[in-house]
Structure 1
Amino acid sequence: MEIGINMSVCVILCLDSLKPLTSESKGFAFWVELVAPGLPSAGYLSYVAHNIHGEIDTKIDIADRGEVFVNLKTMRVISFEEEMEQSPAPFSEISRRARDLLTKDYNYDQKFTFSIPSSSGVGITATGVKKDQIFIGDISTQYKLGSTVVDIKVDTYSNVSTKVTLVDVFRSTKVSLGFNIPDNKSGKLDVHYLHQHAAINSSIGLNPSPLLELSAAIGSKDLSLGGEIGFNTASSSFTKCNAGISFNKPDFSAALMLTDRGQAVKASYVHSVDPANGTEVGAEMIHRLSTYENSFSIGSAHKVDPLTSLKTRFSDNGKVAMLCQREWRPKSLITFSAEYDTKAKNSVPKLGLALTLKP
């Protein structure tokens, strides 16, 4: 028995006869006609493989006359950045919104930062800080090539910090290798994995007695539950053992955490009063289970105009702080901070000025 095969190939964007699984389907189809004199028709068969997070979509139809229709959609793998938009935030991000409101950009020294971005993938940042009569500075550079990022920083004490990051080395995975010179025991390997409903971060020191750290969060962008542990193999003791839960919406964020290896409970809340003017209020309260001590901080933020913002903070220890930040040119900021201790005798206000330049 002889079988003749006639084949024709056609490249298309979408098949009307074969319904695409998504509206963005791209693929190709080919027709194979089998001619077998004296044999019955091949009947009808349909096979579909559905695409979930990058697998290949396939649909095969064998018609009554023997034609075979195959539609292979192009494989699309979700990147690490895209996975971040869908997955819950890492455990370190729980209560981040309240932490930023109460502490971010407050500075009581003289600080200068100058950044030079580059479209070629190389960026340089110089930072200088004057604390009392001591000046500390560093120069860092970042080089990007595809999915590889290399960060190198040199400070005024001749310490060199290097970090190499590989993004999407595996699907939805980021791997970082860092080390400091001249400290030959400072090597550390970090692995970050993101899933639609989970975020896992792990770290291990590259030395004979490494420090092991693991954190995980499950849930969604709105609701996440997580924990973290740290174990020192040299002393066979836990350095971290924390847990937390957070609930986030565009207009508010609430979090409850068990911190300090189970010795303290921290609750925080941030509410957006006027999103148009960037007005937010927030509070954080800490209760220590061993001593029954309570502490709290209350803060606020408000945009005076599109380029000027104000922040205030009051703590139960009597310290009052304020911040004024002005964007005097795109991405260039000048920030003035002040703090005063109302309970201390002969207290002198702390003042700070930070200047950030980015051409």
Structure 2
Amino acid sequence: MGKGPGLYSDIGKKARDLLYKDYQSDHKFVLTTYTSTGVALTSSGTKKGELFLADVAAQLKNKNITTDIKVDTNSKLFTTITVDEPTPGLKTIFSFIVPDQRSGKVELQYLHDYAGISTSIGLTATPIVNFSGVAGNNVVSLGTDIAFDTATGNITKCNAGLSFSNADLITSLTVNDKGDSLTASYYHSVSPLTNTAVGAELTRSFSSNENTLTIGTQYELDPFTTVKARLNSYGKASALIQHELRLKSLVTISGEVDTRAFEKSAKIGLALALKP
């Protein structure tokens, strides 16, 4: 674990990654190559039912400046420029989408041993301002995430979170949607040797009076193969197997069945990510 509390987005991240990361029901292909000058070129395609989505991205690193450029099937150009540590602990991120003139945004992130702050502002006459901050250490942290629309004068987002961590256990509690939902998560590393972990997430929606519980686990069959499984309170059971073909080249097969309606077809997803 790091020395500081991290950013607000890190609260509950371990449990979310265990329960949701790499699960999919689409067919996805990603190919990354590197030029002699160090530019990384990535082409990806995803088939969602009858719809096919594709994009081409390039990443260029020059000292502490990283530039990411991506073009998708809708001819939108996504650009992100990241300046890492112009001063210790500080990161500056500038992003925009062409032709969306309201998409420009500047974000500042600052990490300290006892705090993590992220603030962003849209590059428009009446921007949306977002601020998130976490205070604490690598054991206990408390944070908030707020967004303010200067055009209307309304607070569009107001969340708060609390996290507790020790050597193998991480628990978190977040209040989201301006107090309308409450989420508690749990992550336990059972065996670091086999990367075995269990986790759970319980979400309570006060407006709909609904509770959603998701539990999951992962296990490393060998240094190159990991299996994961999860089940939620709606009866949806999912599993995946991920194999590393070579360094950072992954093939992932995942599936989902509705245990309350076995007559429905199972959803199968395949993801192939290749790097030289």
AA aligned to 1:280 is A
Higher relative contact order (CA 8 A, sep 6+): 2
Asked whether the equivalents of residues 12 and 171 of structure 2 are also in contact (C-alpha less than 8 Å), the reply is yes
- Other-structure match for 2:85: 168
The Cα shift of 1:220 comes to 1.0
- The whole-number CA distance in structure 2 between the counterparts of 1:303 and 1:165 is 34
Mark the structure with the bigger radius of gyration.
1
SS in structure 1 of the partner of residue 178 of structure 2: coil
In the TM superposition, what whole-angstrom CA distance separates every residue of 1:6-58 from its partner, at most 9, and x where no partner exists? Answer: xxxxxxxxxxxxxxxxxxxxxxxxxxxxxxxxxxxxxxxxxxxxxxxxxxxxx
Asked whether the equivalents of residues 121 and 145 of structure 1 are also in contact (C-alpha less than 8 Å), the reply is no
TM-score when scaled to structure 2?
0.95
Equivalences, count: 276
- Other-structure match for 2:250: 333
- The whole-number CA distance in structure 2 between the counterparts of 1:161 and 1:143 is 14
1:322 to 239, 242, 246: 239
2:204 to 281, 287, 294: 287
AA aligned to 1:96 is K
AA aligned to 1:88 is P
- Other-structure match for 2:190: 273
The Cα shift of 1:118 comes to 5.4
Asked whether the equivalents of residues 186 and 199 of structure 2 are also in contact (C-alpha less than 8 Å), the reply is yes
Give the aligned CA root-mean-square deviation in angstroms.
Answer: 1.6
Q: Within 5 A, what are the aligned runs for 1:1-359? A: 85-117=2-34, 120-344=37-261, 346-359=263-276
SS in structure 2 of the partner of residue 101 of structure 1: helix
In the TM superposition, what whole-angstrom CA distance separates every residue of 1:273-326 from its partner, at most 9, and x where no partner exists? Answer: 222111111111112234442210010101111111110010001101001111
In the TM superposition, what whole-angstrom CA distance separates every residue of 1:229-273 from its partner, at most 9, and x where no partner exists? Answer: 011223322221111111123311111111121111111111112
- The whole-number CA distance in structure 2 between the counterparts of 1:246 and 1:347 is 39
- The whole-number CA distance in structure 1 between the counterparts of 2:207 and 2:47 is 38
SS in structure 2 of the partner of residue 277 of structure 1: coil
SS in structure 1 of the partner of residue 56 of structure 2: strand
Asked whether the equivalents of residues 6 and 111 of structure 2 are also in contact (C-alpha less than 8 Å), the reply is no
Classify 1:291/1:131 alpha carbon distance in 2 versus 1 (closer, same or farther; 3 Å).
closer
The Cα shift of 1:331 comes to 1.3
- The whole-number CA distance in structure 1 between the counterparts of 2:5 and 2:44 is 33
SS in structure 1 of the partner of residue 103 of structure 2: coil
Unmatched segments (≥5 aa) in structure 2: none
AA aligned to 1:184 is Q
In the TM superposition, what whole-angstrom CA distance separates every residue of 1:147-201 from its partner, at most 9, and x where no partner exists? Answer: 1111111112111111111122234211111111111221011011122211100
The Cα shift of 1:342 comes to 2.2
Give the % identical residues: 43
Unmatched segments (≥5 aa) in structure 1: 1-83
